[in-house]
Amino acid sequence: MPETYTHTSVWHYRQGTLDSTPESTPIVREHAATLYVNGEPWLTFICSPIALEALAVGFLFNENVITSLEEVDQIKLKEEDRRIQVQLNHPAQKPAQFHRTSTGVSLQPHIAAHEVGADFTIQADKVIALYDQLMAQQKLHDQVGGFHSAALSDGESVPIIVEDLGRHNCVDKLTGLYLLRHATFIPRALLLSGRISSEMVYKTLALGIPLIVSRTSPTSLAVQIADTSGITLIGYLRKAQFDIYSHPERLIAA
């Protein structure tokens, strides 16, 4: 399997001086992997070459192509031609569009079927503590930079953490790992290092996650979908503060 990063030469410019000789530095490696479903090519992921089975399973689950792992008969990785081959136990129609980029596609018709329950509440300082756990356990970003990180939390800890060069890949890999590991905890929070887009919120609906947390901002459509679906959206998390964009009733002040 290819490495997640490689090395390249860079020339540094510092305080008015340009280096005459280059220095070797680590840099993110992009990996292209094409997903085949029932023998048909669906799309090519630009991703980090780790947890590719989880990426495929999570993607299919988050796109509502499958509803459980039992629908997957076989997953094969073909490294020589960069394929992820998934065989389902039923026919599957390739969606006309995928929720992976900011396409502006209206997601409203899908929301009503995935509304999140309101029974989960959490202390505000616990949110910060959980996010600190994610930041403490990210390794690739600290070593190289350029990686996104994300975690699934049960509200008390962060049992599953992933890193990838793509934000959407992180969410799909989290879902895939949750299914492939037959995890028994209830996913209460999705923790993200990057921007919260509408597609990211849409993907959380499949697992019914009631809380999304990021250190950056959400988009307006992300806020709209979260509000309609009963999801608490938190952005701009810092050491002792954050902003709540929807359903603040889920938070309990310390």
Domain residues of the chain, as ranges?
A: 110-252
* 171 SS3 class: helix
Residue 57, pLDDT score: 98
> Which neighbouring-strand residues pair with 252?
123
Domain 110-252, CATH class in plain words: alpha beta
Q: Which residues have C-beta within 8 Å of that of residue 129, sequence separation ≥ 6?
A: none
- Do 2 and 31 meet the contact criterion of CB atoms below 8 Å apart? yes
Element (H, E) at 75: strand 72-78
**Which two structure tokens, joined as six digits, stand for 88?**
């389902």
C-alpha span between 127 and 136 (Å, rounded): 14
Amino acid at 72: V
Cα-flanking dihedrals φ and ψ of residue 56, to 5°? Answer: -65, -45
Q: Is 238 exposed, middle or buried (0-12, 13-18, 19+ CB in 10 A)?
A: exposed
Residue 105, pLDDT score: 42
- Do 71 and 89 meet the contact criterion of CB atoms below 8 Å apart? yes
What digits encode the pLDDT tens for the residues 183-214?
A: 999 999 999 999 999 999 999 998 999 999 99
Query: How far, in Å, are 46, 122, 181 from residue 177 at the CA level?
Result: 19, 24, 6
Residue 3, pLDDT score: 80
Residue with tokens 């499958």, as numbered in its chain: 66
Report residues of the chain scoring pLDDT below 50: 102-113
Residue 139, pLDDT score: 78
Residue 113, pLDDT score: 43
